[in-house]
Amino acid sequence: MRRVGLLLLLALVHEGRTSWEEWWTYDGISGPGFWGLINPQWGLCSKGRRQSPVNIEADKLLFDPRLRPLHVDKHKISGSLHNTGQSLMLRVDQDSKHHVNISGGPLAYRYQLQEGYIHYGTHDGQGSEHRVGGQAFPGELQLYGFNAELYHNMSEAQHKSQGIVAISLMLQIGETPNPELRLITSVFNKVHHRGQTTPIRHLSVRALLPDTNHYMTYEGSTTHPGCWETTVWILLNKPIYITRQELYSLRKLMQGSPETPKAPLGNNARPLQPLHHRTVRTNIDFFREQGKNCPSMYRDMHYQATTWADNEIL
């Protein structure tokens, strides 16, 4: 049955009645297990060895003293929020006078912020693509930038070495939401169905980030097709907060049009991918943190969706 459905999908694409970008999903015959089959250019989704997302295991993290603080420009951005039918996507205006540059951290080049994606679940126990100690968060906001020193745009950079950076912000439920995040959550009702778009104005990405200099980093891929293995991932060591009401509004968004709304947009997380001997590095000095009577990552994992507090660190 699945084979018949996949062949029909391929036939529709070749007849020009649809496109690859419209037909991939997070379940069924066009879900993650088939991404590498329905489009030959997405072969890495099936055969890649440096795929994302991954599970961050505390006892396998490697402290790297050469990792620098991450720098994100203070400039405010404008753009638009889109319901793509697969995810909620933030697209940054590229004709802006000031771009938000990302540098430092594990990066050898300057990257220009271009887009963001919100992944979330229809209940609190799932949602984030990356996991920490096997634990998922209710959501994950991913900010993507392209290498502006070597390449002209995201389309070119995604195929090239060190072409992309992705910053991962875990979304945790809290009473006091992130003020900058509210600029996004306040317009969820305007992107209720696929194809709907609404403007986002004067968003400070710097202020969106949690108050921490600590992060984990590894070499991986985009988590959407074509799973390009050109992405430097930076996972910040604190979540940002979203209220239950905002999460409720997010979970009301639909995959389809008003005429055919289909299923809820949530549960749009790609399954975990194997590390294949890749190293996940961190700028957290475990031994120094132990000396300050802080929790250790060696035996206990405190970065969990169910136990997080405002002042906790790993």
- Tally of structural domains, the chain: 1
The answer to whether 146 and 115 have CB atoms below 8 angstroms apart is no
Tens-digit pLDDT profile for residues 270-287: 999 999 999 999 999 876
Q: For this structure, is 151 an active site residue?
A: yes
Give a yes or no: residue 33 inside a domain. Answer: no
**CA-CA distance, 166 to 233, in Å (whole number)?**
5
Give a yes or no: residue 231 inside a domain. Answer: yes
Query: Which CATH number belongs to the domain containing residue 145 in this structure?
Result: 3.10.200.10
Give a yes or no: residue 289 inside a domain. Answer: no
Q: Is the pLDDT of residue 150 over 90?
A: yes
Q: Is the pLDDT of residue 4 over 50?
A: no
Q: What is the pLDDT of residue 126?
A: 95
pLDDT band for position 137 (50/70/90)? very high
Give a yes or no: residue 107 inside a domain. Answer: yes
Triad 278, 280, 284: Cα angle to 5°: 160
Give a yes or no: residue 221 inside a domain. Answer: yes
Give a yes or no: residue 213 inside a domain. Answer: yes
Give a yes or no: residue 168 inside a domain. Answer: yes
Give a yes or no: residue 8 inside a domain. Answer: no
The answer to whether 88 and 119 have CB atoms below 8 angstroms apart is no
Given 151, 215, 218, 303, which residue is catalytic? Answer: 151
Name the residue range of residue 214's domain.
41-282
